Amino acid sequence: MRLFQKLLLLEFVPFLILGVLFFTLILVLADIFTNLWQYLNLEVPFGQAIQISFMYAPRALIFAIPIGAMFAAAFAFGNLGARNELIAVFGSGVSLLRFVLPLLALAVVLSAGVFILEDRVAIPITKKSNMISNKLLGKQDSKSRSNAVAISMGGRVIYVADYYDDSTSTLSGLTVIMLNEDYEFFKRIDAQKAAWNESGLWQLEGCRIYYYGEDEEILQVSREEYSDELINENPDTFRLDTREIEEMTGKEARAWIAIHKRTGLPYKVHQAKYYQRFTMALTPFLVVLFAGALGGRFRRNILLVSLLASLAMSSVWYIVRMISTLLSELGILTPIAGSVIPYLGFLALGAWMFRHAKT
């Protein structure tokens, strides 16, 4: 039994290394040729342009590992089948699952490696690369924004500002609506300007304050300066954040999504992309499962047919994954359902194919 498994690993590992390196190189070269003309048009030094392009390598490696694993598994089973060695394996009474078990274990390790590589290496390098690229291309990355809106304190404090200036952490044309614990109107404050102070509160200037009096009439009072312990939403909330979720580590992404939830901003699109990281990381296991289940099904043109069948199954998986992400972004599916349901479906399909595989 161990001899057969060792034989399979000896077929799989070299193809895996070559496949991952080959597809990584292809993806890096594609990125170079896609962006190189922009740098050359702006007379960016060639060495710096190439350096930025090669910073895409960790991200390319993440995309290359599932593809390389699929091709390696298909080639391994195809070669063993073409040499009639699978007949000896299955004829000795070894089940397909026991035979493929070392590959599945290696695929689990690859999946964990993809997740760690993305969170610890690829995302920080991608973020740094984008910063350098924007600087060289002269792109401005201002965090100031107009029509800044935020909701805090569980919906009890609502901010609406004409403009947020990130350089001075100030809000212009600010309106704050405050509700009581029963979510009924409590106070409205119109301020010409608000500045963030060291005590962690907004200092409002030129204010008109509206509130209910004892006889339920709305009263108005003017104040040159005003602050309230409930008006304490962090300036980060009002910033125009141009980052993509792909540039955030898991910790940063969770905090960013939490801010969007708390302030009433759209968050399901970002949450769907965040959850898709996990299914993307588990893709090597899925493609190896497909390749293993299809490995013993063919008797003619084994190498070519196994490769094409594995490629077709993997392509369908990627298409379904994209559709489920889109449905999550549209709100038809919850973000977690859009990520988990397709993966569990294809995992069940792979298990069914294993159970009914011809050996």
What's the mean pLDDT in 335-353?
A: 90
The model's pTM:
0.76
Is a pLDDT exceeding 90 seen at residue 194?
yes
Fold of 145-238: lipopolysaccharide transport protein A fold (2.60.450)
Q: HEC profile for 114-164?
A: HHHHHHHHHHHHHHHHHHHHHHHCCCCCCCCEEEEEEEEHHHCEEEEEEEE
Q: How far apart are alpha carbons 145 and 285 in whole angstroms?
A: 44
Residue 114 one-letter amino acid: V
Q: At what angle do helices 268-281 and 96-117 cross, to 10 degrees?
A: 130
Please name the helix (run of DSSP H) or strand (run of DSSP E) that holds residue 210, with its range, or none: strand 202-212
Two tokens, residue 317: 């998986």
Provide the pLDDT confidence category of residue 209 given band limits of 50, 70 and 90. Answer: very high
Q: What is the DSSP letter of 166?
A: T
Instruction: Write the DSSP symbol of residue 264.
Output: T
Of 62, 67, 56, 49, the closest CA to residue 31 belongs to 56
Mean pLDDT value across residues 183-212: 93
pLDDT higher than threshold 90 for residue 79: no
Q: Which residues belong to CATH 2.60.450.10 in the chain?
A: 145-238
- Residues 210-236: tens digit of each pLDDT: 998 877 788 999 999 999 999 999 888
Residue 300 clears pLDDT 80, i.e. is over it: no
Question: What's the CA gap between 280 and 60, in Å, rounded?
Answer: 13
List 174's β-bridge partners, or say none.
161, 191
| Residues 344 and 320 sit within 8 Å (Cβ to Cβ) | no
Report the C-alpha gap between 259 and 150 in whole angstroms: 10
pLDDT of residue 165: 92
What was the pLDDT predicted at 358?
64
pLDDT at 296 over 60: no
Lowest mean pLDDT among 4-8, 160-164, 216-220: 4-8
Given a cut of 60, is residue 302 above it in pLDDT? no
